[in-house]
């Protein structure tokens, strides 16, 4: 595998991603056995993770997408949440699973979970591929976490910097020369 010029280090390799996704799917398949679950894919960062994960699920799912943003084009969260695209499905009485790429400050998910929780789902849980607990500001933890990473800005496997690098098949640390120029 060739490393992209903008990436200084690979944090989670393709092989590790496969192992992590399988292990998350095992836990979810146990928890939601025979239940129907509304998966809420948070655009755009979770697209690749959700596509990989949902193909390993053995319970029925309804896929919904939401677009929320708390980030501008930089690398630091503004803390503001804007709902750019909402779901159309009525989630009251349903099992809801929010699929996230990464929890950083936690501000986005904290507000999103509160907003969806107010619509009276039967249950609501969060599944995140990555977690950066060192940067947490909001009081939130994921119910299912793929892997914990240090406080570094990462790209790839759906995660972007200024809309770029989502296509990388691994998770890498972005070189500071990319955003400091
Ligand atoms: P939070 O509200 O600070 O938890 O951040 C939420 C969103 O910021 C995530 O869903 C990502 O889209 C983005 N984000 C946070 N950290 C990173 C990173 O290291 N690389 C790319 N995007 C990130
Ligand atoms: Mg995101």
Residue nearest to atom 20 of ligand 1 (CA): 154
How remote is the CA of residue 33 from the centroid of ligand 2, in Å? 27
What is the Å distance from ligand 1's center to 47 Cα? Answer: 14
Phi, psi angle pair for 171, to nearest 5°: -105, 125
Q: Does the annotation count 104 as an active-site position?
A: yes
CA of 111 to the centre of ligand 2 (A): 13
pLDDT given at position 71? 54
Q: Which ligand is nearest to the CA of 153?
A: 1
Dist CA 172 CA 170 (whole Å): 6
Q: What is the DSSP letter of 68?
A: E
* β-pairing verdict for 154-155 and 171-174: antiparallel
Q: Which residues line ligand 1 (CB under 6 A)?
A: 45, 70-71, 77, 100-108, 153-155, 159
**Residue identifier of the C-alpha nearest atom 10 of ligand 1:** 102
Beta strands 95-103; 37-43: pairing state:
parallel
The pLDDT value given to residue 108: 87
The tens place of each residue's pLDDT in the chain, 181 residues long, gives: 578 899 999 999 999 999 999 999 999 999 999 999 999 999 999 999 999 999 999 999 999 999 987 655 455 555 567 889 999 899 999 999 999 999 999 988 999 999 999 999 999 999 999 999 999 999 999 999 999 999 999 999 999 999 999 999 999 999 999 988 6
User: Helix or strand or coil: residue 124?
Assistant: strand
The closest ligand to the CA of 43 turns out to be: 2
User: How many angstroms separate the alpha carbon of residue 131 from the centre of ligand 1?
Assistant: 9
- Cα→Cα distances 56→10, 42, 102, 140, 171, Å: 25, 19, 20, 26, 20
- pTM of the predicted model, to two decimals? 0.93
Ligand closest to 81 (CA) is 1
* Active-site choice (52, 104, 131, 160): 104
């Amino acid at each position: 595998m060739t490393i992209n010029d903008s990436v200084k280090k690979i944090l989670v390799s393709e092989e590790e991603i496969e192992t992590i996704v399988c292990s998350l799917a095992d836990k979810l398949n146990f928890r939601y056995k025979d239940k129907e679950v509304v998966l809420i894919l948070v655009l755009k960062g979770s697209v690749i993770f959700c596509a990989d994960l949902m193909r390993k699920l053995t319970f029925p799912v309804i896929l919904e997408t939401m677009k929320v943003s708390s980030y501008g084009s930089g690398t630091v969260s503004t803390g503001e949440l804007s709902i750019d695209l909402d779901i159309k499905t009525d989630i009251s009485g349903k099992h809801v699973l929010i699929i996230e790429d990464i929890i950083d400050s936690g501000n986005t998910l904290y507000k999103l979970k509160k907003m969806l929780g107010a619509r009276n789902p039967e249950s609501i849980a969060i599944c995140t591929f990555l977690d950066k607990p060192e940067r947490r500001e909001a009081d939130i933890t994921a119910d299912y976490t793929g892997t914990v990473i240090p406080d570094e800005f990462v790209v790839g496997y759906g995660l972007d910097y200024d809309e770029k690098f989502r296509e990388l098949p691994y998770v890498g640390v972005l070189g500071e020369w990319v955003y400091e120029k």
